[in-house]
Amino acid sequence: MADLVRIRNFCVIAHVDHGKTTLSDRLLETTGTVPLREMREQLLDSMELEREHGITIKARAVRMAWRDHELNLIDTPGHVDFTYEVSRSLAACEGAVLLVDASQGIEAQTLANAYLAVEQGLEVIPVINKIDLPNIDLDVVREELRTTLGFREDEILLASGKTGAGVEELLDAIVERVPAPTGDPDAPLRALIFDSHYDAYKGVVAHIRVVDGALAAGDRIRLMATERESDLLELGVFVPDARPIERLVTGEVGYVATGLKAVADCRVGDTLTLASRPAAEPLPGYRPAKPMVFAGFYPSNAEDYPELKDALEKLRLNDASLLYEPETSQALGFGFRAGFLGLLHLEIVQERLEREYDVGLIATSPSVEYRVITQKGAEVAIDNPALLPDPGTIVEIREPWMKVTIIVPTTHVGPVMEVAQNKRASLLDMSYVDPTRAMLKYEMPLSELIVDFYDQLKSRSQGYASLDYEFAEYRAADLVRLDILVSGSLVDALSIITHRDRAQLSGRVLVSKLRGLIPKQMFDVRIQAAIGGKVIASETVKAKRKDVLAKCYGGDITRKRKLLEKQKEGKKRMKMVGSVEIPQEAFLAVLRIGDET
Amino acid sequence: MTRGIGLYVHIPFCASRCPYCDFATAPARTTLRVAYLEALREEIAREGRALGRPRIRTLYVGGGTPSLLDPSEIELLAGALREAFDVRPREATIEVNPATLDRVRLDAWLALGITRMSLGAQSFDARGLRALGRTHQPQDSTAALVAARDAGLDTNLDLIFGWPGQTVADWQRDLEMAVALAPDHVSCYPLELRLDPEASVANWPGGGWPVLERWRQRTAAAQPDDAGVARLYRLAEGVLARSGYRHYEIANWARPRKRSLHNLGYWRDRDWLGVGAGAHTHLGGVRSANPVELRTYIAHARSGSARSADLESDPRAEAAMLALRLDTGLDLRRYRIRFGDEAVTRVRFALAEVSRARLVRWSGDRASLTARGRLLASEVFVRLLP
């Protein structure tokens, strides 16, 4: 237990691949928290998926000792979908290390998070990382840090996570510059939950920062927003493995095994207090999870519905931002409508369902939540295009708009602006973060942002553009529903809501994409796009002409059967809609409309 | 077993490997040749004893290239067969590669009692033979067929269509050439190239044959598309029907009373024993197979270890699929006697959709493939799997 004035709580803000994990590992090593021989590569990232996506989803805090101080490194999620989680991690700190890759410069999202840290009153320590790389121009990066965030030359540190250069100086700067926590040790307990995860043995584990008061092993705890109470099972700190302790006091960071069964009961941003002596007011800033992107999840095989339900329930244990409810589609049968923080969140959930839970999944195209004003004056939220009311009853449809920040090399500004224009974006501002890189600020509809915008941005800027976005407001728009008919029947799961001006083109492109994605069947399959019952585009998948294993291999029936079994497996991954087999990719065809528009 | 069984004997040796072939094959001069033939004779003797010296109703010596065997090797094989089995076949076929069969060898086979020769002509077009990587010449096939008929044998011609560059006119000429030679039986196979690894295929791409893999990739890319191959198949149906051949199985045509009895045994789900590398067996309702790889086969045959059974075999599905390959189709009354009411219900259910799509036609309780159904047979069969 440390004296309040000897505690330093900080996080590291960095873009993917700018070396956060390597530097964090180096901090653990230099402080002797983890002896060198026990160092595992990239210690803080634990989940396989996180490594593949190059991001850290689940924050953790690690305690270190440096020059008689207790340093708590609080990890932050690194993706735009998790802005709220980032803000709660920041709220648990007094300081932030802003890590910028010497060869890459500052990225849009890093900048957004750095602004967030400044707004929350954190002491930000700028560090230029990877100084061991050849052909780098430190002056350019220094200028970026000056122009964008107003740092002075002498505030900027240089480091290399790879060689360990500058790491001791950084630790010293953290001790010197980051303020000690403030808080009232005698007040009723108020601890900020900045992360939580589900542990199969310990139930929900909350990562907390004690703001006021203290918490002891065996206390009965209360969560102020969800109003849950529980006897805590274990109290501890990560060093970096979990080590149980007796007490956590004001200013400290640690974990609590809450004894709760679902992370939804123990939400990020909530305030943890004592049941015996509850705080009067929770800490500010709590916000329930707000899904922005929605998609239908259906089992490829109707009989797998219980498995999908079970898998979603298990995922939800560990992901409070994942919301879902049962949904029925005429085309796809029984499934779920799920809400996500963003497109990446959706992809992660989808991959985990398929990879960890082995559920064959049909995911429909992602949709945003529209607000429909009806003639009766009601406002209806619609997150599934198929449920859009009869156009005759609609006065107005509103869609969510986002504030978007893009940082891009000046050489690629033209193509990037073109991409944005195609996405109905309006330019608010353009400035320069340094002589070679521009910062573009746009407003654009979220529905355009989630359809392939990021990929196009990356490809048109040769991978150099970076992106950050946040919700702005709902705005009225001239929107229509585009329906897809396969062999004359409407496939509700393929309907999209689109801007009227673009509906014709989208219809044609979508139909042509579907023709390429739906395999040949035993008969001709007609694919049509329609608006309000009027067909605007039509194509045909011609019938399959030959599919036969003719050769008689000396009575080798086994081999024929195995080849047929493979074929049957392929069929299983498709969804029977009427008498047409539609593969999973077809339901995401709308994501590829952008390739041709 | 009173009616006898079919016997398949596999001779894997080939003068050169045909790059599209998926059978167990080995170079003609392999050092394993003597050991292989010894092992084969041991297997024949052991199986004959185990089965109580059954009658061989049909015999089929396939390969590989059985016609490459020397007269002394044929005599030893014949001796082993007679010793182990009651060899009184209604039909005995050898597969022959054009340009490999000389008079002395033919006499040796005739002494064994063969009645039928299946000739791997593949094409009468020099470009076709080149495209298929074959080493013989068109005239070799003609000579071999005439020699076989002169020796009093029934004849079959194997043809392959759908090779790169083949036009409808090319195929028409091949078919007319075949018909002009008046064989008793014709097999026409579309060129099917497996590109993905399969354990049961000895020489699949990726299995250490980069040249073969490249050939298959290149050839597959240059083949006519499915619609083109379908057109060629329809052409064969027309030409052969007009010449008096009955299209009795998906890839097989025959003059009256000249259907391949041995192969009919496969399709009618009868009992047969297969000996040699990669040979398949179906006895007492159980399917099993020998190892494909030569050394493994020899070791197994010597040590007397059993063929490995196909544990995933599903007799109900297989019997239905095999019957549907024939023009006589699947007779559900007979099927009910063998497998019961529930199996019949399953088959009817499985065939409902393909019947609506006109791939299968019904005449009373008998289902058979339509012309389209023969081209899309996999769509039908895949539905019969459990």
pLDDT in tens, A179-213: 999 999 999 999 999 988 887 777 888 999 999 99
The model's confidence at residue B208, banded by pLDDT at 50, 70 and 90, is low
Cβ atoms A160, A166 nearer than 8 A: yes
Q: Integer distance in angstroms from the first to the last C-alpha of chain A?
A: 61
Q: How far apart are CA A250 and CA A60, in angstroms?
A: 19
Q: Do residue A547 and residue B379 have CB atoms under 8 angstroms apart?
A: yes
A470 touching chain B per CB within 8 A = no
Give B266→chain A minimum CA distance, Å: 6
Q: For A367, which DSSP code?
A: B
Average pLDDT, chain A: 87
Residue A528 φ then ψ, to 5°? -130, 150
Q: How far apart are CA A246 and CA A217, in angstroms?
A: 5
B62 touching chain A per CB within 8 A = yes
Give A559→chain B minimum CA distance, Å: 7
Strands A69-74 and B308-309: unpaired
Average pLDDT (B318-336) is 97
Q: Do residue A557 and residue B8 have CB atoms under 8 angstroms apart?
A: no
> Does the pLDDT value for residue B63 go beyond 90?
no
Q: Do residue B282 and residue A579 have CB atoms under 8 angstroms apart?
A: no
Average pLDDT (B126-140) is 94
Show the low-confidence residues of chain A (pLDDT under 50).
1, 36-37, 39-59, 596-597
Select from B200, B251, B378 the Cβ nearest to the Cβ of A567: B378
Q: Do residue B377 and residue A549 have CB atoms under 8 angstroms apart?
A: yes
- At residue A51, the pLDDT reads 42
> Does the pLDDT value for residue B342 go beyond 60?
yes
The model's confidence at residue B207, banded by pLDDT at 50, 70 and 90, is low
Q: What would the two tokens of residue B40 be? A: 């084969």
Give the CA distances from residue A272 to residues A14, A192, A203, A256, A268, in Å, rounded to whole numbers and listed in that order: 29, 6, 16, 10, 10
Q: Which spans in chain B are helix H? A: 33-51, 71-84, 103-112, 126-131, 138-150, 168-180, 210-222, 226-242, 261-267, 294-303, 315-325, 332-339, 341-356, 371-375, 377-382
Give A548→chain B minimum CA distance, Å: 5
Burial of A113-135, coded b for 16+ CB within 10 Å and e otherwise, reads bbebbbeeebbbbbbbbbbeeee
Q: How far apart are CA A471 and CA A403, in angstroms?
A: 6
Select from A554, A557, A564 the Cβ nearest to the Cβ of B279: A554
Average pLDDT (B279-294) is 93
- At residue A65, the pLDDT reads 92
Cβ atoms A113, A50 nearer than 8 A: no
Task: Provide long-range contacts, Cβ within 8 A and 24+ apart, for A38-46.
Answer: A43/A240, A44/A75, A44/A240, A45/A21
A572 touching chain B per CB within 8 A = no
Q: How far apart are CA B138 and CA B132, in angstroms?
A: 13
Residue A64 φ then ψ, to 5°? -135, 160
For B139-195, how does the pLDDT look when each residue is reduced to its tens digit (9 = 90+)?
999 999 999 999 999 999 999 999 999 999 999 999 999 999 999 999 999 999 887
Q: Do residue A551 and residue B274 have CB atoms under 8 angstroms apart?
A: no
Cβ atoms A543, A520 nearer than 8 A: yes
3-state secondary structure of A536: strand
3-state secondary structure of A146: helix
- At residue A45, the pLDDT reads 46
Q: Integer distance in angstroms from the first to the last C-alpha of chain B?
A: 29
The better pLDDT of the pair B251, A316 is held by: B251
User: Residue A584: which of A339, A361, A359, A354 has the closest Cα?
Assistant: A361
Cβ atoms within 10 A of the Cβ of A32, count? 11
B275 touching chain A per CB within 8 A = no
Q: Do residue B200 and residue A556 have CB atoms under 8 angstroms apart?
A: yes
Q: In terms of CA atoms, which chain B residue is nearest residue A566?
A: B382
Cβ atoms within 10 A of the Cβ of B364, count? 8
The model's confidence at residue B200, banded by pLDDT at 50, 70 and 90, is low
Q: How far apart are CA A483 and CA A497, in angstroms?
A: 9
